[in-house]
Amino acid sequence: MNQNLLQLGTWLSIGSPVIAELAGLCGFDWLLLDLEHGCGSEAALPEQLRALRGSATRGVVRVGAPHPDLIARVLDWGARGLMVPHVNSAAEAETIVRAAHYPPRGKRGFSRTVRAHDYGMRPPETTPAPLLLVQIETREAVMQAAEIARVDGVDVLFVGPADLQHDLKQRAPLPGEDYEACLCRVVEAARTAGKAAGILVRDSAELQPRLNQGFTHVAVQSDLSVLRDAYQKLLQTRPVRTS
């Protein structure tokens, strides 16, 4: 993985395979299918992943928690990437890596007939390892970012901006630990370890500044926000009756 190459994605929270297919056809590098805060259930996930079949777009699933059984299921269903929220230490990151990999690297249960291996029609050895994005969402995680980045198997340190800003607001401020300083610290930790840094931006105007800062795996907006903004814009153009 080229750490300096922009990988542009977007958030899918609605849980619709139609939206997933459309976003893939539009040419995003990756899509985040959200099981933490999204509207869709685990049962809706396989159809979203099938909608990306044959697409160059990578389907990344964010699990709600680092449960090994859930991690194994989403990977068995064909997720090409895994995002895990609230990773605060290298030990937690190592546990996630073990859950996402087969022995001897990890502890993931092995089956040849899951969708990830074309139901037994493709040798498991030819299936690429999933891209692993761990979320940095607290001051503690920022302070431990260098150690987390050094964990073999972690590919991307991905900042959760809403959670990180909320966490920082709840604590007594320390010199050099404002939000922007924390972002710089995460980027530097990733760069030093030869890993990538990622972030979600809510406004496309924020994209270029974050790229300049060193983030390469960037998600812009979400399906919900795109629809919300478009609906609101439509309603603003509604004619007013004059009689």
Q: How far apart (Å, rounded) are the C-alpha atoms in residues 163 and 62?
A: 15
| Within a domain: 219 | yes
Per residue in 231-242, pLDDT tens? 999 999 888 777
Tell me the C-alpha to C-alpha distance, in Å, between residue 122 and each of 114, 119, 130. Answer: 10, 8, 16
> What are residue 119's phi and psi, to 5 degrees?
55, 35
Q: SS3 letters for 50-119? A: HCCCCCCCEEEEECCCCCHHHHHHHHHCCCCEEEECCCCCHHHHHHHHHHHCCCCCCCCCCCCCCHHHHH
DSSP 174: -
Per residue in 56-89, pLDDT tens? 999 999 999 999 999 999 999 999 999 999 999 9
**Catalytic, out of 37, 67, 117, 217:** 37
Q: How far apart (Å, rounded) are the C-alpha atoms in residues 117 and 123?
A: 7
| Within a domain: 201 | yes
| Within a domain: 242 | no
Give me the CATH number covering residue 210: 3.20.20.60
DSSP 28: -
DSSP 29: S
This prediction has a pTM of 0.94
Per residue in 121-175, pLDDT tens? 999 888 889 999 999 999 999 999 999 999 999 999 999 999 999 999 988 777 7
Q: How many CA atoms lie within 13 A of 40 on its CB side?
A: 27
Type of residue at 212:
N
Confidence at residue 148, expressed as pLDDT on a 0 to 100 scale? 98
Residue 37 among the catalytic residues: yes
| Within a domain: 2 | no
| Within a domain: 243 | no
DSSP 231: H
Q: How many domains does the chain have?
A: 1
| Within a domain: 131 | yes
| Within a domain: 116 | yes
